């Protein structure tokens, strides 16, 4: 209980903290900018005296190539990017991008219009719900009641007891494979559609 009060107090003090933090940061930046010029001059003279250079990282040569003659006042330039990146970086970026792209390509093919909604609370699923009457259902989670709105072509969490309201802001979901999760209240919405493992394509009555 004490802990909760303490945290609430801290939350109230948050604005103050941010203001102070901003001022500290501005002071640090000012210090860096003000002390920048003479320090750099001192450093350059010291370097030229003993001529010692860093050899430890392999990108040291690249760095000095990129930063030599290019004063730091210029700041961050995107043109410098190709000097910064090593080959391993490029390989990493391409590999990750291909991985994500492959996941998208394989994942989207399995997505279809969902026909029934499954609501899971704390990992246990209820029976799939039909979409036909537009309505609002309520489920009880550990934190409280989550309201789920079911419309003609989708479902969404319309009200939730969680603090950050990520599930509410996630909006409508419509297709199989799309989910809405509320981690604090342990609620998960997903659609099931035409199941590919079913031996029947459809049932007509």
Partner 1 sequence: MNSARRVTGQGLLASLALILYVLESVAPRPLPWMKLGLGNVAVLLALLVFGAASAAAVCLVKLGIGGLLSGGFAGPAFAIGAGAGIGSLAAMAIVHRLTPGLFSPVGLSILGAVVHQLCQLSLAFVYVRHAGLFALLPIFIATGLLSGSLTGLLAYWALDKLRALGWHELRGEARAGGAR
* Cα–Cα distance list, 75 to 54, 86, 178 (Å): 22, 20, 42
Beta strands 129-130; 116-121: pairing state? antiparallel
- Check binding of 170 to partner 1 (CB under 8 A): yes
Residue 179 CB, shortest distance to partner 1, in Å, is 5
Q: Single out the residue of 34, 104, 126, 134 in contact with partner 1 (rule: CB under 8 A).
A: 104
The stretch near partner 1 (CB under 8 A) out of 128-136, 146-154, 175-183, 195-203 is 175-183
Please choose, from the candidates 190, 175, 179, 202, the residue with its C-alpha nearest in 3D space to the C-alpha of residue 113.
175
Residue 120 CB, shortest distance to partner 1, in Å, is 6
Nearest to partner 1 of 149, 177 (CB atom)? 177
**How far separated are the first and last CA of the chain, in Å rounded?**
59
How many Cβ atoms sit within 10 Å of the Cβ of residue 187?
25
The stretch near partner 1 (CB under 8 A) out of 24-32, 131-139, 147-155, 197-205 is 24-32
Q: Give the C-alpha separation, 171 to 14, whole Å.
A: 29
The contact pattern for partner 1, residues 56-95, with x = CB under 8 A and - = no contact, is xxxxx-xx---x----x--xx----x--xxx-xx--xx--
């Amino acid at each position: 209980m004490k802990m909760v009060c303490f945290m609430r107090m801290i939350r109230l003090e948050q604005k103050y903290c941010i203001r102070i933090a901003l001022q500290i940061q501005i002071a640090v930046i000012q210090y860096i900018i003000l002390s920048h010029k003479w320090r750099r001059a001192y450093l350059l003279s010291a370097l030229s005296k003993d001529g010692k250079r860093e050899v430890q990282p392999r990108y040291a040569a690249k760095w000095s190539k990129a930063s030599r003659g290019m004063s730091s006042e210029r700041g961050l330039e995107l043109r410098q990017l190709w000097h910064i990146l090593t080959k391993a970086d490029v390989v990493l970026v391409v590999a990750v991008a291909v991985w994500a792209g492959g996941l998208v390509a394989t994942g989207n093919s399995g997505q279809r219009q969902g026909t029934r909604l499954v609501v899971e609370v704390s990992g246990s699923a209820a029976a799939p719900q039909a979409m036909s009457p537009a309505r609002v259902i309520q489920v009880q989670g550990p934190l409280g009641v989550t309201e789920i709105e079911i419309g003609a072509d989708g479902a969404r969490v319309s009200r939730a007891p969680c603090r950050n309201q990520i599930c509410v802001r996630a909006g409508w979901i419509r297709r199989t494979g799309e989910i809405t999760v509320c981690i604090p209240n342990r609620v998960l919405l997903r659609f099931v559609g035409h199941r590919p493992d079913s031996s029947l394509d459809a049932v007509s009555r």
